[in-house]
Amino acid sequence: MSAIESVLQESRVFSPSAETVAGAVISGMDAYHALAAEAERDYDGFWAKLARETLSWHKPFTKVLDESNAPFYTWFEDGELNASYNSLDRHVEAGRGDRTAIIFEADDGTVTHVTYQDLLQRVSRFANALKRRGVKKGDRVVIYMPMSIEGVVAMQACARIGAPHSVVFGGFSSKSLNERLVDVGAVALVTADEQMRGGKALPLKRIADEALAMGGCEGVKSVIVYRRTGGDIEWHPERDAWMDELAQNESDRCEPEWVGAEHPLFVLYTSGSTGKPKGVQHSTGGYLLWAAQTMKWTFDWKPSDIFWCTADIGWVTGHTYITYGPLALGATQVMFEGVPTYPDGGRFWSTIEKHKVSIFYTAPTAIRSLIKIAEADQKVHPKSYDLSSLRILGTVGEPINPQAWVWYYENVGGSRCPIVDTWWQTETGGHMISPMPGATPLVPGSCTLPVPGIQAAIVDETGQDVPNGQGGILVIKRPWPGMLRTIWGDPERFKKSYFPAELGGKLYLAGDGSVRDKETGYFTIMGRIDDVLNVSGHRLGTMEIESALVANPIVAEAAVVGRPDETTGEAVVAFVVLKRPCPEGEEAVKLASELRAWVAKEIGPIAKPKDIRFGENLPKTRSGKIMRRLLRSLAKGEAITQDVSTLENPAILEQLAQAR
Ligand code: 6R9
């Protein structure tokens, strides 16, 4: 039975306990429905009230949603605020400066506590340092850093001076970093000498130097380096500066730059269905409201909680549920530098035990890989740790199969903690479809119902609603505060990608297929409907990987598809035609490993194909189109039952069935 079939047949229901319901932010389904009804009655009024309650405004807004230039919607447009003020100053001003903001757990287990007061001072110093190096409101700063307090400081300092940041995940290659520096037009780059993961030091500064040397980003005048390991690096004195040295000379006070609510807070690149990553641009006011409000609702967050989101700050989950959501609420959170398997597969569980984590948010891939390890070795099984501090669990990034869900529920949550399976995207800013832990009865594998106020629906190719029980295209029917505002530098692509004319131009197209349950109306996500793969919760464009492969001088042609994978959700399979005769035996194995390393260098290790298959050609229709559905079957090892009568070269199928 496939994962999707098993989700669709899932009928077990796990309802929150009376105790969980009683103290909850959204307490019971009636409360959930009441919020949704309130939003329905007065959409503007609903969000305006939350925006006033949840955020501190320097200048109050008088306008709420403006649809006059659709789909370039604006929210709270004439209001002014600062995201860093909302994340730090206001908690200190309210007398909560001594509260721990971040409990940093380093790769080697060293723990550092930072209070809100400390964090405010560090952010202010660094913001002053950026200003001294000429960074102004509206300038873009690229951040290429490890998981670190300094990473959060860099992001918050940019927000403080109104300079949109663009964080590039530390696993990306110099070429990917260069593309992003060029596209966003960065004036400064913040990086680290090295990063530590699983006991190993990995170079960041060296990759950053390479990226800058590739050209096109001469606007980058400053490279600011966080000293993480003290490892050897090259130094360009006219351009490079140490983060700690710069900050030492600065005042720990820095007046926040008040910006309009629509001022871009950040640009974050994500894969789309063409070769070029999209710079998803988020606003300050609407985004911050979304981060804080969903943190409160979906995680049922209370001041007494210790929150832990295991995502990296290089992804949207790290932006919303590390840098902005928790800090905007004044929460205490754990931030983790390392990997879940170092020093052993019990690292997540020992860290929960050590810091008494009460809300734990991670990815299905991590759970699936830890299940294998725990089942093989009882010592690192979650049952060998005291996890009684936990009260809520969450997942994000990809569908979770019911088996993994139930294991997580029983073994990590002790059959006590609701699991919030949160569906959302880089573009949505925060959670969109998710259970509310003190209300929604849970069905394993379903992300259940929309966040209050969100109108999610399933439509056909023409934009018409389809009945429950029938699969279709997932759309959002009304603009929401946390939505992306545009694609950096490419408003046309924004319109075409997310508000396509074929669906009428008014529906937000998420790019996922979904189905709603006939009785409950619960949503189940069936995966991407475009050429985007989801490997371990990371979005990868098939075209991006294909372009990387054909950039290799020996490659003539390449096609990339996904194949279901037990651990990573999907795996990358590449079909490659070389400019030389089709290799066989050891030669093929050697070339496949060279091409894998090539892709790692071009994009980053996460994009490495798991399988590479060589052929004299690719299966094509007579009009020259690559038949991807055939490639998908080949990748899965399925017998070809499809009609291949339109295929130009049927003999090729046998050759491509061999994996390397
Ligand atoms: C937050 C994040 C977005 C894509 C999205 C979908 C998949 C995310 C999911 C899920 C099933 C969930 N996705 N959450 N699929 N259930 N709970 O992951 O953003 O990196 O932009 O990826 O991830 O396919 O379209 P992003």
ipTM of the complex: 1.00
Q: Which amino acid is at 274?
A: T
In a domain, 629, yes or no: yes
How many domains is the chain built from? Answer: 1
Ligand 1 center–CA 528 separation, angstroms: 9
Residue nearest atom 16 of ligand 1, based on CA coordinates: 399
Q: Which two tokens stand for residue 7?
A: 């989700």
In a domain, 274, yes or no: no
Mutate to test the pocket of ligand 1, among 281, 295, 401, 425 (most ligand atoms within 8 A of CB): 425
- Across the chain, mean pLDDT equals 95
pLDDT number for residue 4 = 63
Give the DSSP H/E element, type plus range, for residue 369. helix 364-376
Is the bond into 71 cis (omega within 30 degrees of 0)?
yes
pLDDT number for residue 350 = 98
- Nearest 5°: phi and psi at 385? -125, 155
Q: For residue 143, give every residue at least 6 positions away whose Cβ sits within 8 Å of its Cβ, in sequence order, or none.
A: 151, 154, 155, 158, 165, 166, 167, 168, 189, 190, 191, 313
As beta bridge partners, residue 420 has 394
User: Residues 250-284: pLDDT tens digits?
Assistant: 999 999 999 999 999 999 999 877 768 999 999 99
Where is the binding site for ATP, in residues? 397-399, 421-426, 512, 528, 539
Ligand 1 center–CA 514 separation, angstroms: 12
User: Residues 379-405: pLDDT tens digits?
Assistant: 999 999 999 999 999 999 999 999 999
Listed in order, strand segments (DSSP E) in 251-310 are 259-260, 264-270, 278-283, 306-309
CB burial class (10 A; 0-12, 13-18, 19+) of residue 213? exposed
d(CA 461, CA 291): 31
Q: How far is CA 385 from CA 70, 117, 348, 391, 412, in A?
A: 52, 33, 10, 15, 9
Split at pLDDT 50, 70, 90, the class of 300 is very high
Return the half-sphere exposure (C-beta side, CA atoms, 13 A cut-off) of residue 324.
33
Please tell me whether residue 587 adopts helix, strand or coil conformation.
helix
CB 101 within 8 A of CB 115: yes
Q: Which amino acid is at 8?
A: L
Residue nearest atom 23 of ligand 1, based on CA coordinates: 397
Split at pLDDT 50, 70, 90, the class of 527 is confident
- Give the nearest ligand 1 atom to 538 CA: 20
As beta bridge partners, residue 612 has 574
d(CA 247, CA 567): 43
DSSP string for 154-208 = HHHHHHHHT--EEE--TTS-HHHHHHHHHHHTEEEEEEESEEEETTEEEESHHHH
d(CA 600, CA 263): 35
- Nearest 5°: phi and psi at 416? -120, -25
pLDDT number for residue 271 = 85
Residue nearest atom 10 of ligand 1, based on CA coordinates: 398
pLDDT reading at 658 higher than 90: no
Split at pLDDT 50, 70, 90, the class of 2 is low
Residue with tokens 């989950």: 317
Residue nearest atom 6 of ligand 1, based on CA coordinates: 398
CB 448 within 8 A of CB 522: yes
Mean pLDDT of 165-183: 96
In a domain, 646, yes or no: yes
User: Residues 541-589: pLDDT tens digits?
Assistant: 898 899 899 999 999 889 999 999 999 999 999 999 998 999 999 999 9
Q: For residue 144, give every residue at least 6 positions away whose Cβ sits within 8 Å of its Cβ, in sequence order, or none.
A: 167, 168, 170, 172, 177, 189, 190, 191, 204, 207, 208
d(CA 373, CA 633): 30
Q: How many residues does the chain have?
A: 660
Task: For the chain, give the percent of residues with pLDDT over 70.
Answer: 98
CB 412 within 8 A of CB 361: no
Residue with tokens 């390449």: 558
CB 555 within 8 A of CB 548: no
Q: Which two tokens stand for residue 26?
A: 């959204």
Mutate to test the pocket of ligand 1, among 312, 534, 542 (most ligand atoms within 8 A of CB): 534
Ligand 1 center–CA 247 separation, angstroms: 37
- Give the nearest ligand 1 atom to 400 CA: 16
**For the whole model, what pTM was predicted?**
0.93
Pick from 554, 401, 448, 427: nearest CA to 493: 427
CB 457 within 8 A of CB 477: yes
DSSP for residue 291: H
Mean pLDDT of 486-497: 97
pLDDT reading at 5 higher than 80: no
Is the bond into 277 cis (omega within 30 degrees of 0)?
no
Mean pLDDT of 346-363: 98
The residue segments making up the domain with residue 585 are 536-656
In a domain, 624, yes or no: yes
Mutate to test the pocket of ligand 1, among 315, 419, 420, 423 (most ligand atoms within 8 A of CB): 423
d(CA 246, CA 51): 36
Pocket of ligand 1 (CB under 6 A): 270, 315-317, 396-399, 421-426, 447, 510-512, 525, 528, 534, 537, 539
Mean pLDDT of 27-37: 98
Ligand 1 center–CA 542 separation, angstroms: 16
Pick from 198, 188, 210, 52: nearest CA to 127: 188
User: Residues 45-78: pLDDT tens digits?
Assistant: 999 999 999 999 999 999 999 999 999 999 999 9
- Give the nearest ligand 1 atom to 395 CA: 17
Residue nearest atom 18 of ligand 1, based on CA coordinates: 397
pLDDT reading at 1 higher than 60: no
What's the Rg (C-alpha) of the chain? 24
In a domain, 541, yes or no: yes
DSSP string for 552-573 = STTEEEEEEEEEEETTTEEEEE
pLDDT reading at 200 higher than 80: yes
Pick from 303, 293, 434: nearest CA to 361: 434
Split at pLDDT 50, 70, 90, the class of 640 is confident
Ligand 1 center–CA 133 separation, angstroms: 37
CB burial class (10 A; 0-12, 13-18, 19+) of residue 553? exposed
CA–chain centroid gap for 189, Å, is: 21
Q: By mean pLDDT, which of 53-57, 296-300, 354-358, 362-366 is the weakest?
A: 362-366
What CATH number should be reported for the domain holding residue 617? Answer: 3.30.300.30
DSSP for residue 385: S
Ligand 1 center–CA 423 separation, angstroms: 6
Q: For residue 54, give every residue at least 6 positions away whose Cβ sits within 8 Å of its Cβ, in sequence order, or none.
A: 289, 292, 293, 296, 328
Mutate to test the pocket of ligand 1, among 525, 526, 540 (most ligand atoms within 8 A of CB): 525
Task: For the chain, give the percent of residues with pLDDT over 90.
Answer: 88
Split at pLDDT 50, 70, 90, the class of 624 is confident
Angle at 336 between CA 330 and CA 337, to 5 degrees: 130
Torsion of CA 255, 256, 258, 264, to 10 degrees: 150
Pick from 580, 590, 565: nearest CA to 615: 580
Ligand 1 center–CA 35 separation, angstroms: 25
Pick from 550, 538, 656: nearest CA to 598: 550
Ligand 1 center–CA 396 separation, angstroms: 7
Q: By mean pLDDT, which of 371-385, 415-429, 481-495, 518-532 is the weakest?
A: 518-532
Ligand 1 center–CA 352 separation, angstroms: 25
pLDDT number for residue 363 = 95
Split at pLDDT 50, 70, 90, the class of 35 is very high
Ligand 1 center–CA 227 separation, angstroms: 33
Where is the binding site, in residues? 197-200, 317, 397-399, 421-426, 512, 528, 536, 539, 550, 555
